[in-house]
Structure 1
């Protein structure tokens, strides 16, 4: 049975890497990076973000209905998009897995800076992390502690959470 997996967490914690690896190991899986979809849409950032989420939900619906997994690696500090994805999974009749790849604020801020592509100030990044922690307290997702430089650990932990350890 297909499933919808959301990999939430701060930038730099391995969401895209783990999503790509999952897709590579589970044929037919759509690794749906909303940021990449947003980059394909012209317009003002706020508007393109909303449109990208709409496109992502539509693409996920089609893919799930065809019987294939969808994994969404996305930093989400507010519940609205998570709620839309949970509703989508319920509408299509597939399991929904909300997973946070987590690291401490100090490590996350250092990892943000090391990426060199973050367009936010350290204060904004700190606020984003605080929002994620508050969201985690409210929603109680599955939390996997992301070990910097050890994506194998994170991937094995994800497979354990999903109840499978091999290829799909």
Structure 2
């Protein structure tokens, strides 16, 4: 049975890195990065939240279509509200797939450090559009608020699987995701 593997977690935790590792090591898997889809929508930089809503609709359709081929979808996407994922859960069901939410967690100080390193590091171009949105939204203050929202959200998701990433390398985090998928 195919799976829609939703890698949830705060900015800078490693969702995109783990999704790419998964895709590289599993033939036929779609790496469905909604943030990348959003960046394909004209005007996204001026009105990110409208583009995000449209991007999610497109991503839901893409996920369902790909799952119907019998292949997995891995989706690195922060969500902190149930209504943000209901469409993906329904797409998995319609596509004859299992929806699996795996949340990569990190302590706040480490999250802020990882984000700062990401915007200055070698992968800066890959995430630049989202990093600019976060920076315009308040940077560390926004990230801390997102962390709090995610923590509260986890209390409503007893079936999600949690991977604490503090002290783990990307390979170790990937191994935990494989174990929990």
Please tell me whether the aligned partners of residues 102 and 161 of structure 2 are also in contact (alpha carbons under 8 angstroms): yes
Equivalent of 1:76 in 79, 82, 96 = 79
Moved more, 38-47 or 147-156: 147-156
Offset, 1:36: 0.5
Q: Which residue of 1 aligns with 2:125?
A: none
2-structure distance, mates of 1:147, 1:7: 16
Secondary structure in 2 matching 1:144: strand
Q: Which residue of 1 aligns with 2:177?
A: 158
The answer for unaligned runs of 5 or more in structure 2 is 120-130
Please tell me whether the aligned partners of residues 13 and 148 of structure 1 are also in contact (alpha carbons under 8 angstroms): no
Secondary structure in 2 matching 1:40: coil
2-structure distance, mates of 1:80, 1:90: 16
Q: TM-score, normalised by structure 2?
A: 0.85
Equivalent of 1:62 in 65, 87, 90 = 65
Moved more, 83-92 or 128-137: 83-92
The answer for unaligned runs of 5 or more in structure 1 is 163-168
2-structure distance, mates of 1:7, 1:55: 18
Is 1:123 equivalent to 2:135 in the alignment?
A: no
1-structure distance, mates of 2:106, 2:60: 27
Check 1:88–1:17 CA distance in 2 against 1; reply closer, same or farther (3 A cut): same
Offset, 1:2: 1.1
Q: TM-score, normalised by structure 1?
A: 0.91
Counterparts of residues 33-48 of structure 1 (less than 5 Å): 33-43=33-43, 44-48=47-51
Equivalent of 2:151 in 133, 142, 146 = 133
> C-alpha offsets along residues 105-154 of structure 1, whole Å, 9 cap, x if unaligned?
12112222222234232221111000000111111210001145610110
Moved more, 140-149 or 76-85: 140-149
Is 1:27 equivalent to 2:46 in the alignment?
A: no
Is 1:50 equivalent to 2:53 in the alignment?
A: yes
RMSD: 1.4
Secondary structure in 1 matching 2:75: strand
Offset, 1:29: 0.2
Between Structure 1 and Structure 2, how many residues are aligned?
162
1-structure distance, mates of 2:179, 2:142: 33
